[in-house]
């Protein structure tokens, strides 16, 4: 199975900060990567798919980049609604896998 490693696992930041989360794949997955946001007690919500395509309705402060084995999710200016957990997911293989998650906390 393809392993997905996210870093950091926890991130403390302030409103207005630029935030970057990294996801590394154990083998090349081309651009077959999605990012999700999850708030406590709620289902995940897709933010980005195919590494850099913003889903409909997602604010433009979110962006994704990368290909192959290294990917990033960037929030250009952190807003109060963005404090949540974020997960990457690869879909290059038929055995789908998620990263371990990054919790973005208020500094």
- 32 vs 62 by CB, closer to other proteins: 32
Binding string, residues 37-56; x marks residues near other proteins by CB under 8 A: -x----xxxx--xx----x-
Q: In the numeric block, which tokens belong to residue 71?
A: 């990917």
* β-strand partners of 33: 90
Structure tokens at 95: 């055995």
Based on the shown chain and the rule CB under 8 A, indicate whether residue 96 belongs to the binding site for other proteins: yes
Taking the CA atoms of residue 34, residue 58, residue 101 and residue 14 in that order, the dihedral angle to the nearest 10 degrees is 150
Binding site for other proteins (CB under 8 A): 1, 32, 34, 36, 38, 43-46, 49-50, 55, 87, 89, 91-101
């Amino acid at each position: 199975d393809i392993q997905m490693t996210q870093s950091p696992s926890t991130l403390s930041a302030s409103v207005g900060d630029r935030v970057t989360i990294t996801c590394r794949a154990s083998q090349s997955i081309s651009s077959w990567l999605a990012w999700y946001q999850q708030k406590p007690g709620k289902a995940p919500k897709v933010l980005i798919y195919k590494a850099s395509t913003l889903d409909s309705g997602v604010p433009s402060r979110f962006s994704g980049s990368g290909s192959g084995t290294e990917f990033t999710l960037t929030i250009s200016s952190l807003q109060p609604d963005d404090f949540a957990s974020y997960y990457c997911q690869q879909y290059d293989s038929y055995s789908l896998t998620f990263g371990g998650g990054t919790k973005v906390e208020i500094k």
